[in-house]
Amino acid sequence: MPLDGLFTHAIVHELNDLITGGRITKVHQPYPNEIVLVVRNNGQNYPVLLSAHPSYARAQITRIPYENPQTAPNFVMFLRRYLEGAKLQKIEQVENDRIINFYVNARNELGDIQEIRLTLEMMGRHSNLFLVRESDARILELIKHVTADQNRVRSLIPGATYVLPPAQNLKNPFTAGLDGLAQMILDTPFEEWPKYIQKTYQGFGRESAEALARAIDQTGDQLAHARDWLAHFDHLTPTLFTSKDGSLSYSAFDWLQDCVSQEEFSTLGTMLDAYYIGKAERERVNQQAGTLVRVVKNELKKNTAKRKKLLKTLEDAENADELKVKGDLLITYPHLVQKGMKSVSIENYYDNNNLLEIPLDPKLNGLKNAEKYFNRYRKLRTAVDFVNEQIALTDAEIDYFNNIVAQLDVASPKDVEDIRLELTAEGYIRANKKNKQKPKVSKPDKFESSDGTLIEVGKNNLQNERLSLKQADRRDIWLHVQKIPGSHVIIHDSNPSDTTLIEAAKLAAYFSKARESANVPVDYLPAGKLRKPNGSKPGFVIFEGQQTLYVTPDASLVSKLKVKK
């Protein structure tokens, strides 16, 4: 189901059970449109994600580790002043809409207690997160500032009065009840029930309206079926469905959706983590890496075109002997050529005296035409070594950018910044002169094998180079997919078990361009045998004496072995 008003009701129910009465200990803003509140309640820490993302807006308790920026954004600094240390008094949904209010009591500049409200509106591209002073509904700050020409319905800037989005004037099913569906059941064809439900009751998405229609369309008391169905949103059994095409959908309980498999979760938060971990992460990477993707695609396009031209030059050079033959014939029989002729046929003594037609420059005589052919011949022969050198350099560039593409495919948001730093250092992206701080390279991803051995995976060239050439012990085992762009993997053990070796090889295969393949060759050897050629690109190493394993990437193994932060 989409995150509609009904699912919002279920989220608020779960959040009230778990975190109301707790104290906000930390506030983070890992991404531009998302806030994480760490709420401590009953001896546990609950990371609460409040997302105003245009595609993935939601509120949930999450266990997905997030990387926080080195410099905290202004919005989170503002929230920390009001929220850190404050007690979460209550959580309420506005009617049955996709709006949630989080109420806290905080102290103002004079030390007086004031009620503050954190309001999350989950409205697609209009999603937003507000910090509001309850006494006068003044917006203290919001995560997205919206100018008047973008929204003429209400003012969405600090200092303005908070006004709810325009109301739909529909019934709230949790307060009005569903008895109003009796007329629909009697007078409306079944196929029109979902539309009737959506037009009558607030908070119904298409999927939830169809699910209610299915629940009503059973033998027995149909209105009782409807009431029982609605009651499930207060008695949750979060369920994740997998359809025939492999796509995922979810609901607050098992509402008999058509699917090939389904999985129940203990909480909505764990279910949403399972649903969003790939989607939201990929979207964040795509947003942050937009510029990088364009740079890489342009460089690949440029180098591919350059390689095509170089190969054409090389092909012409391979035919240079024909130019020499024509020059030899013309210098032997110059008297056969008169100015004004566009071509001449001469017996080719290199080919059993068969006639060879030779194109001419009509402005030149025979000797001058011969000299022209010899000049072209010498130029092409001289170019061969240069062209071969340029082809090698161009191939290296193409391999390098294909490697960057593979890294972006498996990158997390923290890895994107490392790739940006690398491309800037290599001169492919213009440096930001205003930012004088020396950027730090993020740390490789850490995994723990089934027998407890630490495995680290570099997700970009800067991580790879530091991990393989500076941090790894000479006796640690280094792994990489064979002749395919991918991550450097280090087993921090000189004599790992077969199980650890196979698991590390599967990680290397997964974090590579071969992640969708089977039977992937993975080379491994002690890290001390790696060598970096002078002047080579970041992350490029050479080696010999490797052994090879053949494995199939396993996405479930990646999440199983990942070290939780």
Task: Report the distance separating Cα 519 and Cα 550, nearest Å.
Answer: 5
Task: Report the distance separating Cα 56 and Cα 279, nearest Å.
Answer: 9
Task: Report the distance separating Cα 494 and Cα 455, nearest Å.
Answer: 12
pLDDT digits (tens, 9 = 90+) for 87-132: 999 999 999 999 999 999 987 767 778 899 999 999 988 999 999 9
Q: Are 16 and 91 spatial neighbours (Cβ–Cβ below 8 Å)?
A: yes
Task: Report the distance separating Cα 405 and Cα 229, nearest Å.
Answer: 47
Task: Report the distance separating Cα 39 and Cα 51, nearest Å.
Answer: 16
User: How large is the average pLDDT for residues 190-203?
Assistant: 95
Residue 435 has pLDDT above 60, yes or no: no
User: How large is the average pLDDT for residues 18-34?
Assistant: 93
This prediction's pTM: 0.64
E strands, 317-413, in order: 343-348, 354-359
Could you tell me the two tokens for 394?
């161009």
Residue 565 has pLDDT above 70, yes or no: no
Neighbours of 44 (CB within 10 A): 10
Task: Report the distance separating Cα 514 and Cα 505, nearest Å.
Answer: 12
Whole-number pLDDT of residue 255 = 87
Q: Which amino acid is at 252?
A: A
pLDDT digits (tens, 9 = 90+) for 538-563: 889 999 999 999 999 987 788 789 88
Lowest mean pLDDT: which of 132-136, 438-442, 524-528? 438-442
Task: Report residue 358: phi and psi, to 5°.
Answer: -115, 120
Q: What is the mean pLDDT of the chain?
A: 89
Q: Are 418 and 462 spatial neighbours (Cβ–Cβ below 8 Å)?
A: yes
Q: Which of 1, 5, 3, 2 is nearest to 173 (CA)?
A: 5
